[in-house]
Structures are given as structure tokens and as C-alpha cells.
Structure 1
Amino acid sequence: MRFLPVFLDLQSGVVLLVGAGDLVRAKLRLLTSAGARVRWFATDGNYDLGGLEDAEAARIEAATGDPLTADLSNVLAVLCAGAGDIGVAMSARAKAVGLPVNVMDDLAHSTFIFPAIVDRGDVVVAVGTGGASPVVARRVRERIEAVLPARIGDLASFIGGFRKSMHERIPEFSLRRRFWERVIDGPIGALVLAGRRTEAETALKDITDPSGFAGANAQGKAEGWVTLVGAGPGDPDLLTVKALRALQDADVVFYDELVSAEILDRIRRDASRIPVGRRVGKPGIGQDNINQLLIDAAKAGQRVVRLKGGDPFVFGRGGEEIEALRQAGIACSVVPGITAGLGAASQFEVPLTYRREATRITFLTAHKASDAEKVDWSVLTDDKMTIVVYMGMTAAPSVRAGLLAAGRSPQTPVGVFARVTRPDAQAAVGRLESLPDLIEQIDGGPAVLIIGDVVAHSAPWRQSNLDEQFYLDDVISNLLEAAE
């Protein structure tokens, strides 16, 4: 993030605007709609306001003279639009006295940029791309405009009118925040958004026990709970809406080692983040300790998220954590995530089932060779079964040996799919007999193995021309045998 989003108090000074033409008039409309007082130096001498309303026009001062020598004592920002070379000179002058300056479409001479704006009164959303692509920012703004309630600004002002009185009645910060969340998400907030503000005010005033409304226990503390959230395989865009809401509501997040930094960025800024995961070959704090951390945090009244890679109930020990929480009397819930096997299938176009070719799927884990040796491979030899192996890189030789010994064809297509859905995702495909060699082509995990005829339908398989290569190998082998 190169540009930090900030909001200027336009009542604290004058905005100095330099420029001409349609570009500068667009800035005039934006500034006056925000209530700014503007001192405008028209570089072409044309002070036509372009049809602004009288109330807006009254806030514009048509300045004369040279802007490069103008008084800057009460100026809070300098803007240049359609100003030509004067814009560059004004930038140097503004920087010399420490004033923020924007020269339109000139990042090199700007110390701030204009975002795309969603204006809902007291609620303003700013969308920026660091100046790289205003068109992308506008597209994001359009998406936000489509989903943001029209009266969300009214809701903000409604809450603002009661904040001070509720602060006195609910001194504990976490309980007070939970009170307002219940107001916003419940019937009172719905009344405001429906334009029935008077009814909403009556309903809020009728709350005689704000702490009880917020969910306080007998000791006056907020009752905590735990949400197990599936982070998916790495791409933050694959988080569910419910998962995002949980991350924004959390007071503390205990996360696995493999949860990506991009997903951690979705956590509320002032929430505590505590890593509790482990990597292969490195010690962790242990599942019992993790369970106790969750229980202790919830008993302290915190809203806890246990953020787990993939899906909490697919090789994620989510069942053990839920059981421990229930025994401790802690309220808990689960938000599913996209498991790595499904992430690999979608990214690399591997249809895990395929009519008449693959009618069953088995998911298993083989963290190390000893895990693979415990698997009953004899039940996995059906060529219409797709096998998805989690954490199978280290155990790949044992996986191959187990399947071959049980009778699975050495020519069975297989794929190794690493870091799926992330920017550095990687795939290697081949035949079961060459599985360990495929592992060597991968630059580190985590990875899933997919074994079965469906891999031959995948994008990496098509791109590798493996069918033609194996056909040529068979022809050459047959020719050599005939020559002997």
C-alpha cells in the first residue's frame, strides 16, 4: 500500500485549485459536493462554473494573478487539473511548504491521489488502486454501490446520536461494541434502513438493560464463543461471505501456519492474531494446548476464530476442537472452507468424477511413509475411483508402492498439485509408476496428489501431450522387442 487512505476535514481551510477545461470543472463539482471552499485559478481565464447550483457556486472564489505566488497560509491542499506545466511548478511549491498536492494523472508530482468514492452521507467508501488503474477502482466502486444500502449513512448518523448516552450506560468497550452490532444487525437497524427512523429511536430507547441486550453474563462480562473458519487453500477470493464476517467480528484469531498472508489481511485490524500451527518436521504447541487457548479466550468473553487451512472438518482436526469446546460448555459454530483437493480440481481442471470413468472419490492423508503403510490399499484399486491424497509429498514412494502392490495399474494417471489457488501454484502430471519423480518437479508444498483416470482430463495433462509421448514410448519399446 503506497497511498494511505485519509479523509480531509474540508471545513478547516481552503482547497487551492489550478487548471482549466472539463477536467477542472469535474474537480469543482466533486469538491463543492463535499462542502469544500475552493480558490480557483483558471489558467485559461475562463471561470464558467459549468452549471453548478448557486449554493455550490457560492463556495468558489475566482482567484486572479499568478498561482505560483499566491498566499498559501490557509490552504489545506493543492489540486491541479488541466494545468499543464503550471501543475508541475505548483507541485514543487506545495511540497516545499508541506502541503498535500495532486496533479491529475501525474503520480510523480502528486503526494495524494483521488479515490473512486461511494457517498452515502455519513458513510463514505474510498476505493484506490495506487493510481495504477482508475478504471479498476471505478469498477470496484460500482460493485460496492450495488450492494450498499441506500440509507447506510442514515444508520451511521442514527447510531452517532446515541453513542454518548450508551457509552455512559455500558462502560466496557467489548460489550458496548457488541451492543451496537446487535442494533445494526437486528430489527432496529432494519427499521432505519427502511426509512422508519422514529420507530427505530423508540425501540432503542425501550432497551432498559443494554448490557443484557448485548449478551452479558451474570458477572457483567460478554459471553464469548468460538467459530471454526475454513480459510480455503490460499486464494482470499475463495473465502465465503460468512467467513469474512467472522474474521471482521473476531476479537482474537488463532491461525494455522499455512494460512496465507492475503487471508490474514482480511482480519479486523485491531484483533489479536496468534499463530498456533506447525509445519512438517517442526514442533507445534500441540492440539491440547490449542484447545485450551480457545476455551480460555472464550471464557474471557472474547469472540474467537480458529482459522484453519482448507476446511475445518477435512483433515483439520476440527472435530477434536469442537468436542473440546462442547465439553467446556463453550458456544461454537463452523464455517466451511474449500478444501485443497477441490481447489486443485477447479484450478487445474481435474474433474474428480466423470461419467462412466470415475464414480467414486476417496480422500485420505499420508503425512509420512508410516501413514501410507497403514492404508488398506486393496480397497482403492478400482479404476473408477479417484484418490485424493493430502500431505502426500513425503510419502509419495509409499503411496505408489502400496497401490502397485494392491494391483492398481502403473499407467494410472496421477498429478501433484502444489500451493493450489495461490499465485505460485504448480502442477506435475504423469503416471503412477513415476510418482516420486513428479514430486521432484515440485518446488515445495503444501501439495495434494490426485490419482485416477480423471487426471488425463486436466489442463496440465493436455498441455504436456503425455498421451502422445506414452504412445511413442510403447511403439519404440515394441520395435526394440521385435528387433531382439
Structure 2
Amino acid sequence: MNNFIHQHQEFLPISINITDKKILIVGGGNAALTKVRSLHRFNVSITVIGIKIDPAFLEIDNIHIIHKSYDPSDLEGFFMVYACTDNKHTNEIIREHCHARSILVSLADNPRLSDFISPAIYKEGDMTVAVGSNGKNVKQSVMVRNNIKKNSGQDLEDGRGSEDNPDRIRVHLAKNPEKSNRNNKQKVIIAGFGPGDPGLMTLKTNQFLLEADVIFHDALLDAKFLEQYPARKIPVGKRCGQPHIRQNEINRLLVSAALRGEKVVRLKGGDPLIFGRAGEEIQHLTNNNIEVEIVPGITSVFAAAAQFRIPLTHRETGSSVAFCVGHNISNRSLPEADTLVFYMGASHQCEISKALIDQGWNRKTPVALISNVSNPNSKAVISQLDKLCKDQLLPDTPLLIIAGEVVKKMPEISGNIIQQEKRKMPLAI
């Protein structure tokens, strides 16, 4: 009989009065943090118990945090309990203790053993939308919730969507101040994801992604990795020769989302301030009186140098390094530096070669062509300047080109070689 129930588990969607009720969350990691953020929207007393507590909990107001290991006596007086430890056996023990005291309990890692589950919630004033999947497809529930949230921003006066008109949003928010940002701030986070390997993303960027309502992200980012964040994701990346959203449209979307009161993250590959057009977005947001915070990221050349052990400077062969865009070289002079790095130069290798040789660089200057930096399929081709016009040595994109004598300091170089990084990159934080 019990097996039948577990195999055909169903949850009745109901609304429970939790006003002034006490809710306990056991655990201090990411699962517990997600529950707290969801519950914090309601008038409820929240207590968190755990040995290791994520520092992000300290940024949430009006919750009780107790640093200790779980004990059955901790359950006394609580209306509901969330078992969110990283130990499955511990969560099941908490469930037994709760049942002995007739307390409703939810296990973060096992919906089938839970008395209730938390749906994906969108709350706006007294209106609450909850989307559930009987605990079987959380990602789909979040996606449906996000679609509802995305399409709910309607101008109440004329029935038309306000997302495409920042001026109309301002008028609407002025007349309806309760719909302005819950933190009373209109702000956009412009953050760097790093060169591709999610393990190189900063903890600060990760924290902002966890808190975001909407993420506008570049192409070439790990879309599967981004699925773990509850925010809705809007791709706004640009790829050479492919359809893309124009920069002025991206600017408009950022302003509109910020004015609606959403927590906005503009996620860029590499570092946002290096060839990422962040300057244009900062200027546009500032002109619209929206606060901007920048979170740096690891730019691709630093990751490439580390991955293939190429010193960008060396006291014997290179005391300076400069970053350049790899296209339209003939329209501008190149900087004078011992090492030059060219971004986005895949289809301009010959142009780069000719420009450097015309500027006086030795034809035999070593160059490294590196594609898909920090990813498992990353490759490095070591050649020399005058050969860039003879053959397309590495057609893969995105491509980074490093030119300078420092390339000779790369270990184990013997002629023109191709190296491929085969170790598996970490895909989670």
C-alpha cells in the first residue's frame, strides 16, 4: 500500500494561513537559502539551524540564525519544518521526529517523503501564483512561473504592456509606488562570467545570480549551468554572422527591467570591461538614473595563459602587454608593447600578421592561437607571424591570438604543435 502511494504521489495545491507562524529550516546551504528567500516574502517567523551557515543568510532581514547541530528538541513550537541538510539520512531522521510531533515536514532532497512541497512562487501584493509539478520537474515549474512573471507586467491604465517603454513605466510607478522596487533601488549588476569554465566564475557573481529576477546573458556562456538559477534568462549575445539583438535594444531591456523593480544581472563572458560593451550600457543606465554595480570576471587571455602556461610578461623577453580587437586593424595603429593579445581575430589572422610585420615586427615572432579558452575542447596552435597568411592554422571560434617572444617560454614547445586540453572542467560551484 505504501509503495503504491509513493509511486503515485500527488500534492493538493492549497493556501495555508501562515501569519505569525514559526517555520524551521534545518541546514545552512544553498537549498536552505532558496527556501528562506521564498518564505521571506510572507509574514512568517523563520529560524535557520545549521553548523555551517552560508554568509548570504546574514544579508536577509528578520530571520533567526542558530549555529548548532540539529537536535530533536529544536522542533518544539514550530508549525512547519524544512529538512535541507546535505545528508539524506539526516533529513529522513528529521522527518521521523516531525511525524512523532505531528509537524508538517518537507525534505529538500526527497519530495516523495515530504508532507508538502514548495512550488515555484510569484508574489505581487496580495496576488500569489504558485506552480507545482508534484515534485517531479522543478525546472519546468520555475520556467512556467518565470513566463507568468515575465508577462504580468501590464500597464493597468491602458492594458498595454509597459516593458517596451521606460517613460510609461516611470509614469506607472509614480502613480503606483507600491509596485516600485522592493528595495527602493533601481539597479543593474553588470557581472563577468569568466572565459567559459563555470569554475572560474567569482563567488560574488554567483551570489548575484542566485538573487536575480532576470539574467540578460551573452552567447557562449554555459546555458545548462545557468539553469540552476531561478531567474528567467534572456539571451542577448552577439555572434559574428548570426542574428542578434542590437545594443540599443539591450540597453532598453535593461532599463525597463530595472524600472519594473526587478533584480537585474547583465552577465557577460570574460570581464565586462574588456571588449564587452559595458561602457555603453553603463552610460545608458546612468543617463536613466539607474545605479550600476560592476563585478569583474576573468578575461579570456588570463585563462588562456594559465591553461597553456604562457607567461604574458617575462623579465627576459617581455615587460609589457596590450589587449587589442582583432578586426579592422588597418584602420588604427597598434600599441607598442612586447606582447600583443588579439581578441575576436579568428577571421583576421592574415590582416593581423601583415599589420604587425608592416609595423616592424620580426616575421619569425612566435604566436599562439587559442580557441575555446578554459573549455574541455580548447586547443592551442603555436606558430610564427609570417605563417598566419599561408594557412588557416586554427579555424575554431572564439579565437584568441597572442603574439610575442613570451610564447617561447611556453613549456614543451617543439616546432609547430597543437595542444589540446583534455581534462574535464568543473561545471558547478
- From 452, 456, 463, the equivalent of 2:404 is 452
Q: Structure 2: which amino acid aligns with 1:261? A: A
CA distance in 1, matches of 2:218, 2:38: 37
Aligned twin of 1:74:
2
The Cα shift of 1:246 comes to: 1.0
2:373 aligned counterpart, secondary structure: coil
CA distance in 2, matches of 1:158, 1:241: 18
% same residue = 33
Which structure 1 residue ranges, 4+ long, deviate > 6 Å from structure 2?
A: 152-160
CA distance in 2, matches of 1:158, 1:227: 19
2:194 matches 1:232: yes
- From 26, 42, 45, the equivalent of 1:123 is 26
CA distance in 2, matches of 1:157, 1:226: 23
The Cα shift of 1:263 comes to: 4.0
CA distance in 2, matches of 1:394, 1:238: 27
Q: Which moved more, 1:387-396 or 1:274-283?
A: 274-283
2:251 matches 1:291: yes
Kept in 1, the 8 Å contact 2:383–2:416? The answer is no
Aligned twin of 1:372:
329
- From 381, 387, 392, the equivalent of 2:340 is 387
CA distance in 2, matches of 1:155, 1:237: 21
Q: 1:350 to 1:372 in 2, by over 3 A?
A: same
Aligned twin of 1:352:
312
Q: 1:391 to 1:74 in 2, by over 3 A?
A: closer
Q: Which has the higher helix share?
A: 1
- From 306, 315, 339, the equivalent of 2:266 is 306
Aligned twin of 2:204:
242
Q: 1:457 to 1:296 in 2, by over 3 A?
A: same
Aligned twin of 1:413:
366
The Cα shift of 1:467 comes to: 8.9
- The TM-score normalised by the length of structure 1 is 0.53
Q: Structure 1: which amino acid aligns with 2:377? A: D
CA distance in 2, matches of 1:265, 1:449: 32
The Cα shift of 1:400 comes to: 0.5
2:388 aligned counterpart, secondary structure: helix
User: Which structure 2 residues correspond to residues 253-264 of structure 1 after superposition, within 5 A?
Assistant: 253-264=215-226
CA distance in 1, matches of 2:66, 2:252: 41
Kept in 1, the 8 Å contact 2:218–2:235? The answer is yes
User: Which structure 2 residues correspond to residues 28-107 of structure 1 after superposition, within 5 A?
Assistant: 73-75=1-3
Q: Deviations over 1:262-308 (max 9, x none)?
A: 44234x23x21111122112242211111010000110111111111
The Cα shift of 1:165 comes to: 3.1
Q: 1:466 to 1:254 in 2, by over 3 A?
A: same
CA distance in 2, matches of 1:157, 1:341: 39
The Cα shift of 1:163 comes to: 7.1
2:304 aligned counterpart, secondary structure: helix
The Cα shift of 1:322 comes to: 0.7
Kept in 2, the 8 Å contact 1:228–1:307? The answer is yes
Larger relative CO (CA 8 A, sep 6+): 1 or 2?
2
Kept in 2, the 8 Å contact 1:234–1:421? The answer is yes
Unaligned runs of 5+ in 1: 1-72, 78-96, 101-120, 125-147, 168-180, 198-210, 469-484
Q: Structure 1: which amino acid aligns with 2:265? A: V
Kept in 2, the 8 Å contact 1:234–1:263? The answer is no
CA distance in 2, matches of 1:315, 1:456: 27
- From 276, 292, 309, the equivalent of 2:236 is 276
1:395 aligned counterpart, secondary structure: helix
CA distance in 2, matches of 1:415, 1:386: 11
Q: 1:233 to 1:262 in 2, by over 3 A?
A: farther
User: Which structure 2 residues correspond to residues 399-478 of structure 1 after superposition, within 5 A?
Assistant: 399-437=352-390, 440-459=392-411, 462=412, 464-466=413-415
Kept in 2, the 8 Å contact 1:417–1:447? The answer is yes
1:231 aligned counterpart, secondary structure: strand
Q: CA RMSD in A?
A: 3.5
Kept in 1, the 8 Å contact 2:217–2:235? The answer is yes
The Cα shift of 1:225 comes to: 1.9
- From 173, 178, 192, the equivalent of 2:65 is 192
Kept in 2, the 8 Å contact 1:231–1:263? The answer is no
Kept in 1, the 8 Å contact 2:311–2:407? The answer is yes
Unaligned runs of 5+ in 2: 10-23, 46-54, 69-73, 75-124, 126-172, 418-429
Q: 1:276 to 1:154 in 2, by over 3 A?
A: closer
The Cα shift of 1:157 comes to: 8.9
CA distance in 2, matches of 1:238, 1:183: 23
- The TM-score normalised by the length of structure 2 is 0.59
CA distance in 2, matches of 1:278, 1:466: 35
CA distance in 2, matches of 1:157, 1:455: 50
Q: 1:263 to 1:338 in 2, by over 3 A?
A: farther
The Cα shift of 1:366 comes to: 1.9
- From 5, 19, 43, the equivalent of 1:165 is 43
Kept in 1, the 8 Å contact 2:381–2:416? The answer is no
The Cα shift of 1:456 comes to: 1.1
Aligned twin of 1:332:
292
Q: 1:309 to 1:74 in 2, by over 3 A?
A: closer
